[in-house]
Amino acid sequence: MRKVSYLGHVLKRDRYSLIQLILMGKVPGKRIDRRKKCWLRNIREWTGVASAAQLFRLARDKGKYGELIANLR
């Protein structure tokens, strides 16, 4: 629940633009080992949101995101 709350905090504020860019971007290159679970994938699984883009749009709406966090409990 704390991870989901922090994501909403970061995505709502303009001063975290670098973190937003990192979350929305991809690192170029090839992954050699097995696929690891990422932070954002965990949050999508916990909340039931299908895509990261949907999650980012939802996080910008304070009311809806608050409801989402409340339903995690």
**pLDDT at position 34, please?**
60
Integer Cα distance of 66 and 5 in angstroms: 8
Please, what is the Cα angle at 38 between 45 and 28, to 5 degrees?
130
pLDDT in tens, 15-40: 887 777 777 766 566 666 666 667 78
